[in-house]
Structures are given as C-alpha cells and as structure tokens.
Structure 1
Amino acid sequence: MPTYNEQAEGVIELARFASEKGWLPATSGNLSVLVERDPLLFAITRSGADKQRLTDQDVLLVDAHMQVQGDTPYRPSAETTVHVALYHKLPCGSILHVHTVYNNLVSELFARQGYVEIAHHELLKALGHWEENASVRIPIVPNWSDLNQLGQAVADVAQADVPAVLVRAHGVYAFGETPDAARRHLEAVEFLCEYVYRLELIRAAGFVAP
C-alpha cells in the first residue's frame, strides 16, 4: 500500500500537470489521491494553495470526517466534501477538480437538460468506451453554495463508466481508480468540452455537416 508521503507527491505531480495546462488559475481547484480505503484517508490540496507551486506542506492527510491528520496550521479545501462523497460511492483512487473556460461554457450551455451528450468521438476511448458508435452523457449539477449539498449532488449522478461530473459555471470533477486514470479522464474531458463548444459555434454559424 502506498504511503501518505508517496501519495502526496502524486498530488503535487498532478497539480503540476494541470497547472501547466492552465487548468488551475489563481488558487482554484483541488486534487486528491487515496491513501487508505477503510478507514478512509486521502491526500488533498489545502485551502488557498497556489497549485502551481505546491510543497509537501500544501498537501494534507484527511479522513472521512474532513479532519486533518497531523500537526499543521492549514485546513483542507472546503470542497473536500465532494471528494469524501465520491470516495464513498465509487472505487476512486484519485479525484481532480479544475476550473477552465471550456468546461464552464459547456456546463452553461447544457445546464437545463442536466448533461452534455458526446457521441461518435475517438477520445471517448480514453473514458473506457471502445464500442462502435459510443455515446456518453456527462452529468451537470447546479453549483450549490452549501458544499454538503454539492458533494451529495455530485455523488448522486457520478458513474464509474462516465468518470466526470460538471458543476454549472464552476468546473469539473474527474476521477479514476488510479491517479493515472484520473489524469487521463480529465485530459479527455477537457478536450471534449472544447470540442463540443467549438462545434456548437460552427453549428450556430449555419454549417451543416454532410
């Protein structure tokens, strides 16, 4: 079983990856990696940390009650509630939450129907869908200010075979059974959000595919 220190380094590496993509502007976002399943313990970024310059002190060990283990002046992200809810529902090994322009725009465009449907795209394979004519519906939930309500809303719609949930005008939670899987799912979803938005613009301009 990996140690907390090893998983904390994994969080820092994931933050570096997402920061280099421009997906963690200012001090936004939060990322976690599982340390133990039962009892639940995971490494997560602290509240207010600049994800582009994380140090070991910026990654906290937290339990299922959002209690920080060890001596630190820092507290975990307020959205740790979402991570706890997802770890309880699914066999996640890592959860990544980022804020980008494209995932925000797509969540606004399709908020009323509660999901964005993506079909017949090669990158759906990165989400585990290799079948012919694959189609997925990525859920969209309201951006509840009550973070316990937000955590419950995300967990209610989260599915292992569609490893992402959009929060309206807020961001995306992507997850996977391993940190590498979560990273792959996040990268695929971000590509697909940009694709969907640009395709909507083309359609709005009157282009009709043959």
Structure 2
Amino acid sequence: MITFEKQAQTVVSLAQFCSDKGWLPATSGNLSVLVDRNPLAIAITRSGADKQRLHVEDVLLIDDKMQVQSGLDGYRPSAETSVHIELYKKFSCGSILHVHTVFNNLVSELYGDVGAVLVRRHELLKALGHWDEDAEVRIPIVPNYADLTRLGEAVAEAATADVPAVLVRNHGIYAWGETAQDARRHLEAVEFLCEYLYRLGVSRVVG
C-alpha cells in the first residue's frame, strides 16, 4: 500500500543518492514522489531544506494547489513545486528530480540559444529507452524564468514523452520516470551525457 510515510522515505533515499553524487549543493534542488494521482498528492522536499542531510520531517504532502496536507507546522513547499505539479499533470510519472550541477548548467548555456541539445548514437541513450544504434534525442532547454508559474508551464510545454528530462538554462535539470528508480536512472544518464558533451567539446577545441 502506498502511503505518504513510505513515499517520504523514498524521497529521503533519493536525496541521499543525489547528495552522494554532489548534485544538491547549498540546499538547492527539489525531489518528489507521487502519493496519489486522483486527487493529485505528492511527497516533496520542503523549501530551504538541506537535501544533503534530509530527514523525513523535511518532506511535505501537498495537493495540486501546492497546499500542505501533511508535515510539520511552519514548513512550506519549494516555490519550484509548480514545475513538479505541471509535469505530474502532463505525464504518468511517479517521481520527479530536480538538481543543479556544473555540467548541466554548462551544457544548458552552450546550447541555450538553440533551445535543445542533440545527442546522437551514445550508449547511455539506452537508459532513456532508445535502443537503436542510430538513436538520437533532443533534450529541451527552456529559459530560467523568475516567474515560477511561467517556468512550470515552459518546462511542461517543452517536455516530451520520449525524453524524460528538461534543462533550465543556467539553473538545473528536471528528470522524471514512472517510478523513483526510473527517475533516478534517467537523471543519472542525462547527467553523464551532459558531462560527456561538455568534455567532448572542450577536447575538440583544445585539440
């Protein structure tokens, strides 16, 4: 049986994984797991929580209006919760992970004017569900809107079912999956690809 308490623990485990990778610096990022789809209810990290030392008390149960249904008094969800809500409404995803890293920021800036980064014929595309040897995907890049309602709408509009990630320029990445494990795999694959593409570009310039 799915419960908020169980999903809150899953959020804590995801935070530990991302923290161990160095993907959650300076209280940044937000992580969520679906609790119920109808009506929508998600377990999500609270605003200001240090995700490198996350506890279950730092996870809130919220509805589709970003209203807290369960959690410690005085805590509120991240302002970027609106992005999560829009993605849950668009897809049948069970978890959404948002992290800030150097490589996803660099790639989003390098390809930001194009609006997407093209990845061709790479082994890690299999982790995103693309098994053809000539596979290619375009990872969307959206502007870093200060208006977070607008950001949520932009991410959801750019998001596609066959590429479970969107880069926000000079900000970070949103990755999702049907399960928490899927979301984690997708995030790890795209982070690898961001580092690969950046290092490949540098090596070509130096060479």
Please state which band the TM-score falls in when normalised by the shorter chain: over 0.9
Q: CA deviation at 1:132?
A: 2.1
Q: CA deviation at 1:72?
A: 2.0
Matched residue, 1:173: 174
Q: Structure 1 unaligned runs (5+)? A: none
* In 2, Cα distance between equivalents of 1:101 and 1:134: 26
Q: CA deviation at 1:205?
A: 2.2
Count residues in correspondence.
206
- CA deviation string 1:145-197 (max 9, x = no partner): 00000000000011121000000000000000000000000000000000000
Q: SS in structure 1 opposite 2:175? A: strand
* In 2, Cα distance between equivalents of 1:3 and 1:172: 27
* In 1, Cα distance between equivalents of 2:66 and 2:94: 17
Amino acid of the residue matched to residue 15 of structure 1?
A
Within a 5 Å distance, the mapping from 1:1-210 to structure 2 comes to 1-70=1-70, 72-206=73-207
RMSD over equivalenced CA pairs, Å: 0.8
Runs of 4+ in 1 over 4 A off after TM superposition: none
TM-score (norm 1): 0.97
- CA deviation string 1:104-145 (max 9, x = no partner): 000000000100000010000000000121100000000000
Q: SS in structure 2 opposite 1:5? A: helix
Q: Structure 2 unaligned runs (5+)? A: none
Q: Percent identity?
A: 69
TM-score (norm 2): 0.98
* In 2, Cα distance between equivalents of 1:87 and 1:32: 10
* In 2, Cα distance between equivalents of 1:131 and 1:72: 50
